[in-house]
Structure formats: structure tokens, C-alpha cells
Structure 1
Amino acid sequence: MRTSSQPHRSIMAEPSLEMTGKDVDALRQAAPLIAPGTLVNVTFLGNEDLEMRVTAAETAKALGFIPVPHISARRLRSQVELEEFLSAIRERVGTEYMFAVGGDPTEPMGPYDSALKMIETGLLKEYGFRNISIAGYPESHPDITEKQLWDALEGKVRAFQEQRLEGTILTQFGFDTDPILAWTKEVRRRRINLPVRIGVPGPAGIKRLLNYGRRFGVSTSTGIAKKYGLSLTNLLGTAGPEKMIADLQTGLDPALHGEVRLHFYTFGGMEATAEWINQYKE
């Protein structure tokens, strides 16, 4: 229950979206439904190359959005590859936003075993990136201990302070608001004052949502599924995050949780997510 008397803006104000390098046509189709100036994150997946990533970011900017390219530290084979990516984004896209993440590979493919190590090089700032998003894990991480996650988050915050960079914490998606609220409260208790964007899945088929959840280590018990609106007995159905968003809005206290907004993972498609956002706001 909210106990603060401070005004609390809707967490649906200015939501951000995520796309892959293959979603260029989908973004163009959905563009009329997306507010100008929306932050659009562009992934850094193993099956994408430099040209796909840069083209996607260029498209987002051309359509009136703010591209936030991802860069996966553990996928980089060398400092040369890092600088090639940073240079291409700055020269062809011009954005000052970047999302720095460790990435999926079990073993790093080059010199950077974490986003922190990459940030500490100072190269992101050197190439003109001023607002760096970093990952948050309210439901922990299957391969990283809680202590390591908090140490890494606090290390990135210190690096931002030393380099005078702005930052945002963008969380992995989940289906349960309780760990999200508890984790965000702990973030503030540790005096980390960066804005937080809570990751939520856009509307999608239940089977697809559950598959993504398993892939990313997100827990989905029967109780959590029911709370979110998923049917574990009808996998052919679809579900949106309206219950989760309502629960978050009710549970958030600006005195305890600080600035919180939403980031949509568009598993069900860019256009479907944009339509859902507009309908929810109305």
C-alpha cells in the first residue's frame, strides 16, 4: 500500500520499447502508433551483424524515435570491434544513448567479461555516449550470485559518477510484481538513485511468454501465472501485462522506489505492443 503523500506519475508515462535488427519493417509499420521521442532499444544478438544493428538504429532515429543501441560485452572479440561499433553508431546515428550488458555467452569471446569492465575502459564516453543503461535483475540471475549482481550494479554506478555519465537501470522482464517492488526498494536503500525502467512483456501468446520466461530464468509458478493472467491450462491463449502494471502502480511509493517507468519487450510484435499501450492509456 502506498504510504507517501508525494505525487506519483503513472508508470505508463513515456514507456520504452525493444526491437531486434530484424524488426526494421515492423518498426516502420508500427511507427504511426508510437509517440515521437520514444526510446527504442536495439538488440545486440548473436545472429545479427554490425550493419543490421546500425541500420535498425538509423531507422528508429529517422522515424522520430531515440535509438538506444545495445552492446554485449561478452560478444565482443576485441577492443577494435568495440570501437568499430561505437564509431559506426556515433557517425551514422548520432545518438548519445547506449545499453551496456554482459550478454549471454558462457565464456567471453574477447577481452570484456562484463559490462562493468567495458564501461570502465572509458571508451563509451570517449565516443560521445552520455546516457548508459545497465541491466537489473529483480528475480536474480541463473548464473550469477546475488552478491555479484549487487557488486556489479554498484560498480557501474561508481563508474558513471567518476566519468560524469547519466544512467538508467533497465530490468529483465518478469511476471510477479512482489520481487520487482522489493528489489527496487533495495536499490534505493543502497542509495542508487538512477531512474529504473521495469521490463514487462508486451501482449503475446501464453506459450511464447512462458518459453521466453524459461529461456531467461524467470520463475512462473501456478500462483504467479494466475496473478499475471496467464493460463497454464490454455497455452493457446494470449495475455497482456495489464494486471501486472496495475499492481505495480498500486504498490509503488515514490519515497521508497524513486523514479520508475516501463520498458516493453515486444515478444508479440511491435505493432501489437504499440496498439496495446495506446489502448491501455486510453
Structure 2
Amino acid sequence: MALLNFRKRDEAGQPVDPRMETFLGGFSIEVMPRTAEKIDDFRDLLPRGTRVYIAHIDGTPIEDMVTTAARLADEGFDVMPHFPARIIADAPTLEDWINRYQGEAGVTQALLLAGGVTEPHGDFHSSMQLLETGLFDRAGFKRLHVAGHPEGNKDIDPDGGDRMVMDALRWKQAFSDRTDADMALATQFCFEAQPVIDWASRLTDEGIKLPIHIGIAGPAKLQTLIKFAIACGVGPSLRVLQKRAMDVTKLLLPYEPTELVAQLAAHKAANPDFNITNVHMFPLGGIKTSAKWTQDHGGASGVPANQQG
């Protein structure tokens, strides 16, 4: 009976859309050490085995990152720490981080990305350089995710185009083809379904076969989302939030990703081979708020570990 309750939306009592339930299966979520400290037990919030990314913000000590990774692993979650190239001084530092994560938390997966800083702190400026070191392969990492940008990335293509972004994706696809690591694209969050669908379809046409874990912003105040969206370089889909901000009746209501996820879920259900395979949640309005949303809209896919049989 407890499972049945999770198959209904708490706020409306309506049955969960089975397409949403399927689409949210195996969703992941992102935390930081300081936000993770506020959660007594992630098993009260997330399904057993959920992949939890740990964002490494510039200035966060590696000790805090590893401690958070070990705590999450002990609670039964798949841990995927960020490795931001531009804040890693050199190859010995990278190897030390890998060894710490592996030795102290049993980590075997990572998200490799350039990172949010403009100027590199050391020898690396891209995720491709991290891959080229061979250190993850030698350490036996089984899963490596890299960044995807459905609305472009001005850090890579300052002119607003996407030629260099596409070249980088082709390189990453070729790397995946010649290695044993399971690779995928984890994307920035956005707010419109059709541009995401068009971008993902274009990747297929370009021969880029990496599975896509689409970034979704969890429920949050509109002002909070707009602030994060601008800071993170979200592109044209920002207009969805701006339009909402102009509607006085919606200005004070929190944003929820329900419509966006429902549209993507419907497309996936109609096109099972579509290359978006997972949802990656950015809990910009708080981890508990995002977890509650997945419980309300994900049916069996959102049941927390402590309430599973």
C-alpha cells in the first residue's frame, strides 16, 4: 500500500503518468558538500542506488569532497564526483584525487568537465586533457561522463556558434569508441523541450551516439532559477522563465519542471531509441524539494530507499 501512495501525486491525488515514471527511472541528482551536510540521511529522500554527483566548486577542499563521497557510498548510493579540469593543478594532483576517491570511498565513476572558472589554475583547461592522461583508465574507473550543452557553450564557442562544441563531442565519441569506459553526456539544465529534442536528434545525425542524461532544474523560486540560469550560461530557453516572470499571477509561484519532463517523457515513449536515456536533477531549490518532486511524479521510480521493500 505504501508503494501505491507514491504512485499518486500528493498535491492532486492523480495517478502518475506511466511515461513520466519510466522516464524518471534511474534519475540522478547533484549535491555539494555543504548542501549534503544538511541532509540527515539520503535514504529518506532518494531511491536505493541513485547516482549522486558531487559538484566540486572552486575553493572546496578535496578532503570535503572525499568525505561527502564516502558518506554517500556508505548510504548505498553510486557516487560520481566532478573533476573540473581548470581547478586541477597538474597530473600528480589529478592522480592524488583519483586515489583518494577510490581508496576512501570506493569511487569508480566521474564527471569530467572544464569547470566554471575562466582561467585555468594549472595545466588543464578541458575534460579531453583529463581523459588523455590515461589516469582514470589505469585506476579502473568504469564510468566517465562528460558535459553536454544543448544551447551551446560560449566558453568554447565565444561567437555563439557550436562548431568547436561539436568538434569536442566528436572527439569524445571517438574516445568512447576506443576505450572500455561507459560514457555519457550530462547536460546543463534548460527549460524548453523542443530545442532539447532537436539538439539530441542532431547529435544522432552527426554520428554522436553517447547516451544523454538531460539536465533538469528542480522546483525553485523563479528568482533563484533566473539567477542560476544566467550564471550558468543557459541560452534561449531562459525566455521561458522571463515570460513567466512577466505574469503577475505566476511571479510568486515556484517553478516546477513537470511540463518540461512530461514533454520529454512523451517523446521518449513514442521514440524508444531516442538518445536521451536519463534525467539529471539540479536541486536549485533544495535537495528535499527536488526529491519530493520525483516522489510525486515518478511513481515507483521515486520511492526512497528507506521506504522500499
Give the TM-score normalised by the residue count of structure 2: 0.83
Aligned partners of 1:178, 1:42: CA distance in 2, in Å? Answer: 29
Counterpart contact for 1:120–1:159, Cα < 8 Å: no
Counterpart contact for 1:202–1:265, Cα < 8 Å: yes
Structure 1 counterpart of 2:293, one-letter code? W
Counterpart contact for 2:145–2:185, Cα < 8 Å: yes
The match for 1:155 is 171
From 22, 26, 37, give the equivalent of 2:49: 37
Question: How do 1:1-282 and structure 2 match up within 5 A?
Answer: 10-145=22-157, 146-219=162-235, 224-225=240-241, 230-234=244-248, 235-252=251-268, 253-254=270-271, 257-282=274-299
Structure 2 counterpart of 1:83, one-letter code? E
Aligned partners of 1:254, 1:23: CA distance in 2, in Å? Answer: 36
Aligned partners of 2:32, 2:168: CA distance in 1, in Å? Answer: 26
Bigger Rg, structure 1 or 2: 2
Give, in angstroms, the shift of residue 26 of structure 1.
Answer: 3.1
User: Identity of counterpart residues, as a percentage?
Assistant: 26
Structure 2 residues without counterparts, runs of 5 or longer: 1-18, 300-309
Give the secondary-structure state (helix, strand or coil) at the position aligned to 2:38: helix
Aligned partners of 1:55, 1:143: CA distance in 2, in Å? Answer: 31
Structure 2 counterpart of 1:275, one-letter code? K
- Per-residue CA deviations over 1:36-72 (Å, capped at 9, x if unaligned) read 1000000111131101111111111111110001100
Structure 1 residues without counterparts, runs of 5 or longer: 1-6
**Taking structure 1 as reference, are residues 255 and 222 closer, same or farther at Cα in structure 2, changes over 3 Å only?**
closer
Give, in angstroms, the shift of residue 196 of structure 1.
Answer: 1.0
Aligned partners of 1:138, 1:269: CA distance in 2, in Å? Answer: 24
Give, in angstroms, the shift of residue 220 of structure 1.
Answer: 5.8
Counterpart contact for 1:204–1:240, Cα < 8 Å: yes
Aligned partners of 2:138, 2:219: CA distance in 1, in Å? Answer: 39
- Per-residue CA deviations over 1:153-180 (Å, capped at 9, x if unaligned) read 1112212222321101111001111221
Aligned partners of 2:64, 2:288: CA distance in 1, in Å? Answer: 20
RMSD (CA atoms): 2.1
Bigger mean CA deviation after superposition, 37-46 or 23-32? 23-32
Structure 1 counterpart of 2:85, one-letter code? A
Structure 1 counterpart of 2:282, one-letter code? Y
The match for 2:5 is none
**Taking structure 1 as reference, are residues 74 and 263 closer, same or farther at Cα in structure 2, changes over 3 Å only?**
same
Aligned partners of 1:222, 1:101: CA distance in 2, in Å? Answer: 22
Aligned partners of 1:226, 1:210: CA distance in 2, in Å? Answer: 8
Aligned partners of 1:212, 1:106: CA distance in 2, in Å? Answer: 17
